[in-house]
Amino acid sequence: MIEELRNYVKDLGVDLFGVADLTAAHNFILAQGGEHIARFPRAISMGMRLLDPVVDELYRHEEPSALYSYRGLYDSVNANLDRAALLIAKRIQEAGFKAYPIPASQTVNPRKLEGAISHKLAANLAGLGWIGRSCLLITPEYGPRVRLATALTDAPLETGEQLTGGCEDCRECVDICPPKAFTGAPFNPSEPRDVRFRAHLCRDYTQRRANLLGEGICGLCVYVCPHGPTRKGN
């Protein structure tokens, strides 16, 4: 079944696919999303690659044309991922199991700026990448230049291995972030996200930019990471 699902979403434009065993993160997932999310033992993680020529333009950080292009890409990739999560969930349901799609960009806790589940955690547990100082998933193939969606399930799918890796002594995302939202602390699954990322600083910064430029999206932390395909070797 897993190969059939992998091929099915590949045809929908999904570039990265893996299945996570959520057992080890159960308490964390329960605290973030509640019982209706934590009841699922596995998660299908799907990643769609962003387009490098659009991400590479983000160095023109104050120019609305670059920001609108990135916004268009971001929204259309999210929409395609949401469709893939919906359709794979329908496939799983048709096969007699439960599945629950989680959209690519969704905030269910406005105070903590969190979704129902961390897509990055699911992707990390599925072996698609590690979590960097930017709190983004860093994939071996595309660095952080991916968007993610998740389908929770009770289908007995074979799971991947958590990927560990690291930023080593790199601090490029920490240094480039205009409101200094990253503390520079490396990812540690036993610590809350606030130890690494002050999400409200990113939100306030992008809202100020929206008032000033008409589009507030930033993405410098996605652009700058040396694991991005066009940044390798810089």
Residues near ligand SF4 (CB under 6 A): 132-134, 138, 167, 170-173, 177-179, 181, 202, 205, 218-221, 224-227
Smaller CB separation from ligand SF4, 68 or 205: 205
Largest CA distance in the chain: 51
CB of 17 to ligand SF4, least distance (A): 22
Q: How far is the CB of 79 from ligand SF4 (least distance, A)?
A: 20
Residue 39 neighbours by CB under 8 Å, 6+ apart: none
Contacting residues for 71 by C-beta, under 8 A, at least 6 apart: 215, 217
Compare residues 74 and 100 and give the one whose CB is closer to ligand SF4.
74
Quick one: which of 129, 94, 113 has its CA closest to 4? 94
Q: How far is the CB of 33 from ligand SF4 (least distance, A)?
A: 23
What is the distance between the alpha carbons of residues 54 and 32, in angstroms, rounded to a whole number?
33
223 contacts 141 by C-beta, under 8 angstroms: no
Task: Rank residues 64 and 226 by Cβ distance to ligand SF4 and give the closer one.
Answer: 226
Residue nearest to ligand SF4 (CB): 132
DSSP sequence for 58-109: GGSTT-HHHHHHHHHHHHHHHHHHHHHHHHHHHHHHHTT--EEEE-SS--SB
34 or 184: CB nearest ligand SF4: 184
Q: How far is the CB of 38 from ligand SF4 (least distance, A)?
A: 28
- Pair of tokens at residue 219: 């993405």
Q: Which is nearer to ligand SF4, 38 or 174 (CB)?
A: 174
**Nearest distance from C-beta of residue 132 to ligand SF4, angstroms:** 3
